[in-house]
A and B are shown apart, each in its own frame.
Chain A
Amino acid sequence: MLSHHAAAPEKKPVSRNGKHLTIALAGNANVGKSVIFNQLTGSHQTIGNWPGKTVESAKGFLDFEGYNITIVDLPGIYSLSTFSIEEIVTRDFIAREKPDVIINVIGAPVLERNLFFTLQLMEMDMPMVVCLNQIDLAESKGIKIDAAGLENRLGIPVVPTVASRGQGIRELVARAIETAKSPENTIATRPVAGEVIKDRPVPEAGRRGRHGRRRRHRRGARFRGGIDTGLTALAGLIDSENLDLDYPSHWVALKLLEGDATITDLVRAKSEKVIAASEVLARQTEEVYKQPRFAAVASERYALANEIAGDVQIQAVSKPTFVERLERLTTQRVFGYVTSVIVIAGLLLWTFTVGNALSTLLSDALSFFQPVDPQISGSFWSILWNGIFGGFVAGVTLVLPFVIPFYLLLAIMEDSGILTRVAFMLDSAMHQMGLHGKAIIPLILGFGCSVPAIAATRIMGTRRERLLASFAVTFAPCTARTIVVLGLVAVYVNIWWALALYVIDLIVMFIAVKVAVKVIPGDTPGLIMEMHSFKLPSLSVVLKQTWARTRSLIFLVFPLYMIGSAAVQTLYVYGILQPVSDFISPLTVSWLGLPGIAGILLIFGFVRKEMILLTMTVLFGANLAAVLTPVQLIVLALVGMLYIPCLSTVGILVKEFGWKSALAISAANLATAILIGGIAAKILPYIV
């Protein structure tokens, strides 16, 4: 079992009579896999990371007719190659952990593309059941699928479901258990894992119309020109060499034919003979197909997927539905941009309206908290009260009320499919920066809080893209920065300067990322993204997503808020901050033109950006205009926005990219802040 994963909230006892099962959910993205996972497991879920990988793992538990079932939700992927970490995680899990049965969730509206993945799973020779989901969506598009026919063609159980309404879920679990318990009772007689593949008769509807002739075959795609025979021979050779691999031999043979780097290295370490034989077969394949080896394999898989889909689905020619018209409208050259603006502006407007109301409510509820003066109450008390509890109150009243409504609406937009249209429309704009359309999602998230936004850069693919997107996020005006800008500038200067700071911030982000794109080596890969259909968002998926993002805030940001606040409070009380502040005064006073106290403010602000404002209020009372000139207020807000991302952001950067990258990003931010702040201090006196 997955003993190395995060412990389950309720660890079910594993019974000895085989009443415990592990089911893995596998499939493409956006086929309703998460909805099924939530349906099956309810609230019995643990969400964490795959060990050592920045890929989310979700595990849940289900009691069903006396069985204790562990359900593992594998990442949504399109193929079992090794280009993305998600694909490696899935492959390794299936091969090493050997779940009792795999439920392959496929989206009925996109049957053919989904079958490409199904065929690859079948190649791994694990007990599996196909869950034909979203049949309602398919029907609305005029697609009818013969589930029984599909079951016959694939030779594995197929259960049609509408997961969003819970239809077919019971039968799905029942057939999954049946398959796990007695795979030989299901339609296909399955070879025992590890045994040499015995060719089985094809179902009557034979391939390529060879009626009446029972061809013997392996599961999955087949090849012409004697390649099939070659593959069987290669699998035989792998068996006779006793390589002791986790994977079935014919799958290894196929992966060697494809030229899969991971498997090739694995086998090469054990048997050069097998590698040599596979190279001969690969050359033969390329001769026959006149295509690279991996393209030949992909082509044959798709040919079979196409054939099966063609046999079992009927596509009625239908007029575009209302939803389809709406989809087209959202990428139209005028309405597309209008939609994008409405989506982003609506999201921010909603966040500030709802957030403000919630924040006021919570502040009133927690109004008994007042910072104390260390001179009066003594240092220990002040550290505890101002630091730890102050950090907690700030998180509850200033961050959560804005961030939760924000994530809620964002999750609804994501699940509905509208956000992919925004990414589509803004791709060329993002290209100006050196990123592509998908980066818009973490960037928008960054308007809430940088921490979940940086976690969300995982959708970006390569490490370089993730790093660049995260760098952009560190400049995004998050809620804490907004508080500083509004509190210092909108209140004491005017709202226009506050808005101007936003614009300056975005321009700085744009330029900084453009520079980073040049500095960090590598190409910017283009956008490749599935445009899935609009659908009604699923409440369970939306809530889960909102919680997942809020969780990272509570578990990472809150502790750092509290500890960090206590730490700087301690330093302050024992008078250590003053020398540090004096030390950096050439920078803060001479270059940035700020008062001497600014050094301390900025040190506090490193823990939580809004501390810049709060500390000032504590020190100088309500009227900051009496202490700072408008120029100083603007420069302080500007520097506060741009300098080192806050402690929590540095924390997530370390977690996702390691110390070096986190330090590099922080240094770049600091340099930008000093540069821009200094320029502003020199120019602003002539403007304001």
Chain B
Amino acid sequence: MSNSTEEYLEALYSLRRETEPVSTSALSKRLNIAPASVTEMMHKLAEKGYVKYSPYHGVTLTSKGYRSAEKMTRKHRLLERFLHDVLKIGNDKVHKEACEMEHALSDETARAMCQALESPDSCPDDGQLIPACDLGFSSCEECRKWGQDNPEKISKRKSSVVSMSDLKENQEGLISFIRGDNNVLRRLLDLGLTPDTKIKVCRVSPLKGPVEIACRGSRLALGDEIARNVFVEKVAN
């Protein structure tokens, strides 16, 4: 995958909306590239199966494209964290630096970086969520435990996951992965958020407040810093 493909996918990832396609003009503005070149690139990406493109309507990521885009975004934001937290690079510079470095970052190094930074959940400059990894773990503890394994051997997640904080009211999901330390994990397990448990978001509060979910017949309020680290497989309803 070329660097520019990766940049396009990342842009599409951050511009994506639930239902509407992304317009090529928005994309061209974001990447600061002429609309003609964007259109040309979209045809190429569509050929490779990363996006669905219908002229005059816009672009949507295919599930293959979504996964690649999410992975790139994850690497980008992990790098920002690393540059900021470990190397103490200023917030004004981390984005540009990460943009350059992300294309060279291997999956293995990204995983090691995530472990070393203790599974960070947001990037330092604008607080955006770092997406979950695509490894088939249900908690970070597993990743730490089976950390010596050859990364090629670790199975990947079967379907993509979204953060609970990105769900809308009345959306449902199956608990797939809980990021973070064991204390939070254990408390959530005790309350019934075990892998594959169905949850429904009942209420999303404004200003990054907590979400209210229904789980095993009970209702729980989870603060944003908890909810954004609970990843679910969306259930169509």
Contact = CB atoms under 8 A, between A and B. Distances in A.
A499 interface: no
Nearest to A28: B218
Given A112-B217, A292-B182, A299 B226 contact: no
Contacts of B205: 331, 333, 336, 424-425, 427-428
B226 A527 contact: yes
B185 to A, nearest CB: 7
Interface-central residue, B183, B191, B197, by most chain A CB under 10 Å: B191
A53 interface: no
Given A295-B139, A295-B195, A526-B225, A83 B220 contact: no
B194 A420 contact: no
B206 A333 contact: yes
Contacts of B182: 292, 294
A307 interface: no
Given A83-B183, A328-B203, A526 B222 contact: yes
Contacts of A50: none
B187 to A, nearest CB: 6
Interface residues of B, number: 41
A284 B166 CA distance: 36
Contacts of A302: 192, 194, 197, 216
Contacts of A526: 184, 222-227
Given A333-B206, A428-B205, A527-B222, A113 B217 contact: yes
Given A113-B216, A298-B190, A526-B225, A425 B138 contact: no
B189 interface: yes
B190 A79 contact: yes
Interface-central residue, A111, A286, A423, A424, by most chain B CB under 10 Å: A424
Interface stretch (A363-371, A513-521, A528-536, A640-648): A528-536
Nearest to B187: A528
A577 to B, nearest CB: 49
Contacts of B185: 292, 295
Contact of A81 (B139, B186, B194, B203): B186
Nearest to B144: A292
A407 interface: no
Contact of A299 (B184, B195, B227): B195
B93 interface: no
Contacts of B225: 524, 526
B145 interface: yes
Given A302-B216, A428-B207, A291 B138 contact: yes
Contacts of B223: 427, 431, 436-437, 526-528
A295 B187 CA distance: 11
B186 A113 contact: no
A116 interface: yes
Interface of B is mostly: mixed
Interface in B189-237: 189-192, 194-195, 197, 202-203, 205-210, 212, 215-227
Nearest to A259: B182
A46 interface: no
Given A292-B141, A302-B194, A528 B222 contact: yes
A62 B4 CA distance: 77
Interface of A is mostly: helix
A291 B189 CA distance: 12
B188 interface: yes
B87 to A, nearest CB: 22
Contacts of A333: 205-206
Interface string A324-337: 00001001110010
A306 interface: yes
A93 interface: no
Nearest to B185: A295
Contacts of A110: 216-218
B142 interface: yes
Interface in A489-512: none
B217 A111 contact: yes
Q: Interface residues of A toward B: which range?
A: 35 or more
A298 B206 CA distance: 32
A141 to B, nearest CB: 9
B84 to A, nearest CB: 18
Interface string A97-112: 0000000000001111
B210 A437 contact: yes
A330 B182 CA distance: 33
A78 interface: yes
Nearest to B137: A290
A525 interface: yes
B134 to A, nearest CB: 16
A286 B143 CA distance: 12
Contact of B210 (A298, A306, A332, A424): A424
Contact of A78 (B191, B195, B203): B191
B216 A529 contact: no
A122 to B, nearest CB: 16
Interface string A313-352: 0000000000000001001110010000000000000000
Nearest to B220: A530
A240 B184 CA distance: 36
B190 A116 contact: yes
A83 B208 CA distance: 27
Contact of A427 (B191, B210, B219): B210
Contacts of A295: 138-139, 141, 185, 189, 194-195
B186 A525 contact: no
Contacts of B192: 112-113, 116, 302
Interface of B: 138-139, 141-142, 145, 182-192, 194-195, 197, 202-203, 205-210, 212, 215-227
Given A83-B186, A299-B189, A529-B221, 10 more contacts: A112-B192, A113-B192, A113-B216, A113-B217, A298-B194, A528-B221, A528-B222, A528-B223, A529-B220, A530-B220
14 contacts: A292-B185, A299-B189, A309-B217, A331-B203, A331-B212, A423-B221, A428-B207, A437-B221, A525-B184, A526-B184, A528-B221, A530-B191, A530-B218, A532-B219
